[in-house]
Amino acid sequence: MPVCFSQQFLPSEYPGQARMGLRHGKNNNETWVYTDFFIPIYNYDSSITFGSNEWLLFLNPKLVLSDGSTDEENFGAGLRYLCADVLLEDGFILGANFYYDSKYSKNGLRHSQLGLGAEFLSKNFDLRYNYYKPTTEKKVVCDYYELGETSLNEYLKVEEALPGYDIEAGIPVPILTHFIETWAYGGIYRYTSDLRDDVDGTRWRLEINPAPAFAFTLEINDDNVSGKDTFVGGHVSLRFDIADMLYRRNPFEDWQEAFRFRRGPRELTERMTEPVVRDIDIWTADKAEVKKIKDMIYVDNANDGDVLENGTLSHPHNTLAEAFTNASYSNGVWIYVKRGDGTATGYTGNFTLSDNVVIWGQGYRYLDIGGEGYPVIDGGGAGNVLTLANNNTIMGVQVQNGKTGIYGKNITGVEIKNNVISDNGVGFGPGIDLRTDGANTMSARITDNTIASNNGNGITFNSDDTSTLTATISSNIISSNSAGIYHWSGTSSKMSTTISGNNISNNTSVGIYLQSNSYSTLDCFISRNTISSNSSDGVYIDDVGFSVLTLDLGNGTLGSGGYNSIYSNSGKDVDNKTSLTIQAENNWWGSAKPTATRFTGSVDYDPLLESNPN
């Protein structure tokens, strides 16, 4: 039996197809417009006397746009095999394809997936299967925080691309196909989701092919998520010969033939270039949920005359004292204090916190909430304005007019940030006073505050009697107090402080005072601060005796890189009363070559910086 083999790149027997299509959904009222290019690349034909076996390799890029503000790009490749028997007038096509799909969703996120497909096409029966596998993980559509009536809530919306498959089978419509080729298809589709119910649906499709250049479809989808929807669509196909394009010949020479009405079904060879049928859209699902972060009590001293006043967002308390007696207070709530009328009315007194309570003033913009002005908490000229317990945070308030602004003893988990702490020190008390004794351990963070104009020290640390105190002080403005930061450790206690990024200036005594006593240990890391124009020394170090003191101003054993700006202090810039050598390299001393008179004791300040790093 004679056999003839032939192969051809960019085969003229199978012209390329440029298809422009439209699809419209009735229920969702969304319209898709697409361009689909079917580009034959390679054809291999092994024909025998009574039949043929052909292979066709093709590329299939596609662009889909919709009026729902989405777009999708598909790039695929496929292989089709035609087995035809001339005598029996039958045969079939087997196909396989692979796609990469990318979609910009309605929520403004880009998703991608891989698609695998298989197809069986014949004159009397079609069968198709497609599988879709996302390559992108879940993505956050929006994530923000909001104040609820009694809680701080997180609103989170997440979107994902869905893996799934579809199957359809079809037959030509009897009688009608003898006049206009018409196929009826039925199938199922399923997509699985981690965010919502899985999608299970049925699909019915009618496809009409009146001419090589035209095709029309009517489709009905029905699933448990989207419900029932009807789609109408179709495409116009323009044939072109790629080889003619390469040799500058007219690639559309026989275009008229494609627009002539065709009676009856197509030949199998013509179906070798028909569109690959797969889902036009990447399926996505999104889910929004509101999650409670913290219980809240609200206070607003401008809320006068509210008979329903109960500490909720709509009906806040108008005094801090009422917030501290609220039934929810003992549960470790957050108290949100509004600026109110800008005065201390209703916010005056000496308040003692319970464990795990947070005071959040409107002056601190946190989680994109607040930032409109500091509420004023006034000590009334006596006592501690705020007395801390374990795991308290104070943020966004102005603390003033107390013996001490914020006081804590033998507690831990302290955070004081983004406050104004001023005009305290009735009886010469400090702005912040943190103390430990006994076998207690304290940890504290003091950051981004303005600590100013207190009659006593800006910050006082005191550890005694085998206790341990660890503190981080960073990015604060500490000015016009007595001493800026005062350390005292004694009786076998241990204190460790990190002081970085602060402006410690214009205090009426020293900028930083350190003293260790009686077998205590004091470690102090100091880096990237401005310590200037204080009325006494910039840094004062004293050791009464029998203690271990380690101060690192730059290139010492604690790892400070230096980069402090220490200059223009009325006393010494570094006043070292101990027998130790203080490491203070890589700092700016107000001039390129500071004089030795700016230092007392042994201070290793060379090498130094020749310009101000801060």
DSSP string for 194-205: SSSPPEEEEEEE
pLDDT-derived band at 88 (thresholds 50, 70, 90) equals very low
Confidence of residue 312 (pLDDT cuts 50, 70, 90): very high
For 255, phi and psi rounded to 5 degrees? -65, -30
205 inside domain: yes
Number of structural domains (the chain) is 2
Angle 244-248-254 from CA coordinates, rounded to 5° = 40
How much of the chain, in percent, has pLDDT values that exceed 90?
75
Q: Mean pLDDT throughout 145-165?
A: 95
* Alpha carbon 565 to chain centroid, angstroms: 36
Strand partners, 445: 415, 472
Bridge partner list, 495:
469, 522
What mean pLDDT is reported for the chain?
91
Q: Domain with 65 in it: what CATH number?
A: 2.40.160.160
**Do 70 and 143 share a structural domain?**
yes
Residue 168 lies in a domain: yes
pLDDT number for residue 385? 97
Q: b or e along 577-614 (b: 16 or more beta carbons within 10 Å of the residue's beta carbon)?
A: ebebebbbbbbbbeeeebeeebbbeebebeebbeeeee
Give the C-alpha separation, 382 to 347, whole Å: 14
User: Could you tell me which of 266, 255, 317, 18 has the C-alpha nearest to residue 124?
Assistant: 266
Residue 431 lies in a domain: no
Contact between 80 and 60 under an 8 Å Cβ cutoff? The reply is: no
* Length of the chain counted residue by residue: 614
Within a domain: 455 = no
Conformational region of residue 329, where left means phi above 0, alpha means psi within -120 to 50, and beta covers everything else: alpha
55-88 b/e (C-beta count within 10 Å ≥ 16 → b): bbbbebebebbbeeebebebebbbebebebeeee
Q: Which domain holds residue 372?
A: 300-405
Q: Model confidence over 377-432: pLDDT tens digits?
A: 999 999 999 999 999 999 999 999 999 999 999 999 999 999 999 999 887 889 99
In eight-state DSSP terms, residue 303 is -
| pLDDT for position 1 | 45
Q: Confirm if 405 and 380 have CB atoms less than 8 A apart.
A: no
pLDDT of residue 89: 58
- Tell me, yes or no, whether 144 and 194 share the same domain: yes
Same domain? 28 vs 139: yes
Contact yes or no for 413/388 (Cβ under 8 A): no
In a domain, 428, yes or no: no
Show the beta-strand stretches assigned E in 246-375. Answer: 284-299, 334-337, 351-352, 358-361
pLDDT, one tens digit per residue, over 436-486 is 999 999 999 999 999 999 999 999 999 999 999 999 999 999 999 999 999
Query: Are 195 and 315 in a shared domain?
Result: no
Give the SS3 label for residue 498: strand
Last residue of a domain, one of 252, 287, 322: 287
Diameter of the chain by CA atoms?
117
Domain contains 574: no
Does residue 89 sit in the same domain as residue 150? Answer: yes
Find where tokens 């105190």 sit.
Answer: 469
Residues 527-551, mean pLDDT to the nearest whole number: 91
The answer to whether the beta carbons of residues 380 and 349 sit under 8 Å apart is yes
Residue 172, preceding bond cis, omega within 30 degrees? Answer: no
